[in-house]
Amino acid sequence: MQRHGTSVFRYCREALRDRALAEDVQQQVFIAAFRDLPKFSGRSTVRTWLFAIARHRVLDAAKSRRRARSHVDSEDAAHIPDPGPSPGEHLDDERLREALVGCLQQLAPHVVTAVLLRFQQGFTFEEMADVCHEKPGTLQAQVARALPSLRTCIETRTGGTP
Amino acid sequence: MTGSNERPDEPSTERIEAALARLGAEHEPPVGWEARVLAAVGAPRRRWWAYAAPGVALAAAAAVALVVLRRPPPALALNVDVKHSARYRGDEASAGDIAHIVVSGGKGPRAIWVYHEEVQLVLRCPGDPRCRVSDASTEVDVTLTSAGTYTMVALTGGFSLPPLTGTYDADTAAAKDAGLDVRQSRLVVQ
């Protein structure tokens, strides 16, 4: 648990952008893992198996939240200030991060998951295929399409022109 | 993926990927989350007897150990078997026969004293090289060299035997006074 708990939590936290919900989902992930442990065949790694559970729970939580809310009002949408254009100023890491967080929320949840698994968690596309039950090529295409979208979104938020 | 005509405030794909890799690095799961998971998993699945089982098993083991440890040792036993040396004359022993003496059971070290006519100590175990001592028994073979009565005494129950005087009555009385368990057998040699 200690070995994977932090990385699972960070994935949940960034995918859901809601700390309380992420804590709840992370707990559900490990409870499910304990209960399903006898079914774990060992064909994938424990990390891959845990993230498959986490991905499923995160997507479920995101879907439930969308149903419960008529408008998006997550903590980060409310609290993250729009960095705004800063002509002539080099885009620093913090402004980039803030813009990136906002832009991720504009992607579909399954794409956010693919991007986070790839770059935040460092999974290969083959490992991601085990996690997401998708073909590696499909996931690679999702990520490849997401990056230009993110870049364009960040440029817009930080004042750059595409 | 980085274009050569990027403006300084345009993020490169590499910078975006690096920012994604750092995303959430400052966040830690809540303190005590492991305990909550274990409680959620363990509590409903364990029945009351699952908690009681270790205690019950321990108590059962202790009871068994108590019974085994407190079980009294087998009683002191003295067996004398005569091996006839020459002519066989019924059950009676005759001079030259050999008495095979076996002492077993009892609590503590065992000893054998053999007297002739109750006044002459013929052999003592331990102390005589003919004695064979094991955890299960103490054995010795004694040649019945003279006619008369041989008295075999088996003793157990103490680590220190009383000093021997060489007479049956005095020695066994001292042994009994010392709290030893005493058995005796007599053999008449023709």
The pLDDT tens digits for A56-105 are 999 999 888 887 765 544 444 444 444 444 444 456 888 889 999 999 99
Number of helices (H), then strands (E), belonging to chain A: the values are 8, 0
Look at A4-18, A88-102, B15-29, B163-177 and tell me which has the smallest mean pLDDT: A88-102
Contact (CB<8Å) B41/A19: no
The pLDDT tens digits for B122-154 are 999 988 999 999 889 999 999 999 999 999 999
Chain B neighbors of A122, CB-CB under 8 A? 21
The pLDDT tens digits for B66-80 are 776 777 778 899 999
Written as one letter, the residue type at A88 is G
pLDDT attached to residue B141: 95
pLDDT attached to residue B4: 42
For residue B87, give every residue at least 6 positions away whose Cβ sits within 8 Å of its Cβ, in sequence order, or none: B94
B35 at A interface, C-beta within 8 A = no
Do residues B188 and B93 lie in contact, with contact meaning Cβ atoms separated by under 8 Å?
yes
Q: Which of B146, B154, B149 is nearest to B186 (CA)?
A: B149
The pLDDT tens digits for A10-26 are 999 999 989 999 999 99
Written as one letter, the residue type at B144 is L
Here the tokens at position A81 are 């200030």
Q: Which of B129, B130, B107, B122 is nearest to B164 (CA)?
A: B122
Q: Stretch B20-26: mean pLDDT, rounded?
A: 88
Interface test with B, best of A35, A53, A86, A120 (most B CBs within 10 A): A120
Residue B34: alpha-carbon gap to chain centroid? 45
Most confident of A30-44, A76-90, A128-142, B60-74: A128-142
Cα angle, residue A131 at apex, residues A130 and A134 outer, rounded to 5° = 65
- CA dist., res. B70 & res. B64, Å (int): 10
